[in-house]
Amino acid sequence: MGNPPDSLTPLRQEIDSIDKSLHDLLMRRAEIVGEIGRRKASDGGPTFRPAREAQLLRRLLARHQGDLPKGVLVRLWREIISSSTRLQGDFSVGFCPIEEDGVALRLANAQFGLDANVVKFASAAQVVLAVGRGDVSVGLVPLPHSSDSPEWWAQMQNVPQVRIVARLPWFLAKDENGEAPGAFVLAAGEPEPSDGDRSILTFACQSDVSRARFADLAAQNDLDADTQAVAAGPDGSGGRVHLVDVAGFVSEDDPRVRGLATLLDNAEPRWLGAYAVPFVDQTQS
């Protein structure tokens, strides 16, 4: 038998009180966000700040306890954060097909809200150009593939204002780590460090440098570098372009990057951006 109805009344009343308090706080939060948006409009500040979002979510996850799953906590706050972004101005998300059907849209909705303004493009190259033109606020492109053909990241040299600013999904269950379909988020503007980042760079090498040699030379320069893709050089001279994922917030001006470029016979490095390292929930079974 269940509890007598009267014994649950105080608990239900407490839930009602909590709901009212939560609603009051959310309304007040929206007021503050609106004021931030008005001030940003006057100074041109960005409305989408993925590094700050990652810092906020890390703080919440660090203090979280109890029976509410961490994944639910992140989903709740993602909707709150996304609605706050839209309150600060027009915001749209471009995407293209990623792996199986529907993956890109699921990633977009999980990151930018279930009612996000989304625009579908036929290819990742079109997403890059749309972000560069300002047709969309941000764009989702697939993670690089290990192939000999240049992909969307080669297109980025033609739109230098576009950078990688985030990687999706940001929250992963333990059994999804390394397995979940993912995407990079592109935006026009410089990414910010979140104090737990990885960077994406390309190295245009004049010769056919293997992955193993690249890794050895990177280690000699104290760079934790993971080659994501290698493509033929654009000039047909037999060179190779390495797309590399590097630990830390590391730009092309970093002395370690310059040192590696020198060892690669004066390869040309280019920073494509950086992203906050995804959180993996190790508490799940």
Q: Which of 134, 169, 192 is the last residue of a domain?
A: 192
At 269 the pLDDT is 95
> What CATH number does residue 94 fall under?
3.40.190.10
Buried b (16+ CB within 10 A) or exposed e, 101-114: eebbbebbbbbbbe
At 207 the pLDDT is 87
Q: Are 130 and 72 found together in one domain?
A: no
At 284 the pLDDT is 62
Q: Are 155 and 212 found together in one domain?
A: no
**209: in domain:** yes
Q: Which of 176, 192, 208 is the last residue of a domain?
A: 192
Q: Are 70 and 51 found together in one domain?
A: yes
At 124 the pLDDT is 93
Q: Are 124 and 35 found together in one domain?
A: no
pLDDT at 51 over 70: yes
Q: Are 93 and 188 found together in one domain?
A: yes
At 104 the pLDDT is 95
Q: Are 109 and 58 found together in one domain?
A: no
Q: Are 113 and 186 found together in one domain?
A: yes
> What CATH number does residue 218 fall under?
3.30.70.260
Q: Which of 162, 192, 222 is the last residue of a domain?
A: 192
**284: in domain:** no
Which tens digits make up the pLDDT trace of 185-231?
A: 999 999 999 999 999 999 999 888 889 999 999 999 999 999 898 88
pLDDT at 24 over 90: yes
Q: By three-state DSSP, how is residue 106 classified? A: helix
**2: in domain:** no
Q: Are 67 and 112 in contact (CB under 8 A)?
A: no
Does the predicted model carry a pTM greater than 0.85?
yes
Give the ranges where the chain is alpha helix by DSSP (H). 5-43, 50-63, 70-87, 103-112, 124-133, 152-155, 211-220, 255-263
**8: in domain:** no
> What CATH number does residue 27 fall under?
1.20.59.10
User: Is 234 or 1 the better-scoring residue by pLDDT?
Assistant: 234
Query: Total structural domains in the chain?
Result: 3
**74: in domain:** yes
Q: Note down the domain range covering 32.
A: 16-83
